[in-house]
Amino acid sequence: MTSAEPKELVLGGQAVIEGVMMKGPETFAVAVRKASGEILVRDFPLTESPARRRFAKVPLVRGVWTMAAMLVIGYKALQFSADEAIADEEKTAPAAAREGGGLEMAGAMALALVLAVGLFFLLPLYATHLISGLVSGLEGSLAFNLVDGAIRVLVFVLYIAGISMMKDIRRIFEYHGAEHKVIHAYEGKAELSPESVRPFSRLHPRCGTSFLLFVMIISILVFSLIPRDSSLLAKALLRLPLIPAIAGLSYEVLRLSARKIDSPLFRAVVAPGLWFQRLTTREPDLRQIEVAIASFRRVSGERVTESGLVG
């Protein structure tokens, strides 16, 4: 990758079980550290359809499309890493067991999405409704949505802080940090060796954690569009179709802020998201950085201008 090449590769990624997924323009790769110490890397093709190319150019719509695509890719990456972890534990995992594991993971992913909507959108609404019964003038006002948003952020922080106490989650957060460091090193045109990558920041302005924070903040404004005199049930039901719009807006803000990071205004916009990343990333060791580099190298053969969401 020389300076003569005119275009820049902007990758997306995600930490998985004992590894890292990196998404390139044509493929995504998953690298995992096996129990034997070796690094196993597998790449998967990305289907580029005319519809996908059209949607990628439409503001707001491209954010929803990108999120949906990353959910699918993320599921496949997690499934691969889980299969390899099972193979390490059982040495030879029967095919039937692997198929069962796939169904279990699909069910777990679906359940996680349902719980996420309930935990971060419906529970804060109900809690704010209860508070409004104790505080006169809160129901149906801008203050209602501000309190709702504050509760949503608090639930998110407590959730992340809670799961970060689990050993396996801490390992994933370390690989998350390794992914960010490798992307920073690439963007800084540094040598991609574990020792050279290690000094780079584990925080990245395009991280999915920052995206989630934007979702929480923008939802305060979008949910204000719901009629004030709506019942609690109506408010809950009306929030669901607004979630894609919130995701689309949040993606555009994240994309713009990452491109304008040198601006004092956008540095201020990005700062809370970077602070949140201190919860979702941990300092990786050299072996974890080596895994992230292996995943990166598999997908970095071509430079493109398409923007990606860093995991």
* Domains of the chain, residue spans: 12-299
CA distance 140 to 220: 13
Q: What is the DSSP letter of 92?
A: S
pLDDT over 90 at 132, yes or no: no
Tokens of 28: 């995504």
- Tell me the average pLDDT across 51-55: 72
pLDDT for residue 105: 63
**Of 304, 291, 305, 303, which is closest to residue 22 (Cα–Cα)?**
291
Residue 139: pLDDT band (50, 70, 90) is low
Residue 262 burial class via C-beta count within 10 angstroms: exposed 0-12, middle 13-18, buried 19 and up: exposed
The predicted-structure confidence for 82-97, as pLDDT tens digits, reads as follows 889 888 777 654 444 4
pLDDT of 91: 61
pLDDT at 272: 85
Residue of higher predicted confidence among 150 and 100:
150
The DSSP line for 56-70 is TTSTTHHHHHHHHHH
10 Å CB burial of residue 47 (0-12, 13-18, 19+) is exposed
Mean pLDDT along residues 167-173: 93
Angle at 54 between CA 247 and CA 258, to 5 degrees: 45
State how far Cα 239 lies from the chain centre. 22
**Average pLDDT of the residues of the chain:** 82
At 190, the pLDDT band (50, 70, 90 cuts) reads very high
Let me know: does 220 contact 145? Beta carbons within 8 Å: yes
Q: What span, in angstroms and rounded, lies between the C-alpha atoms of 205 and 194?
A: 22
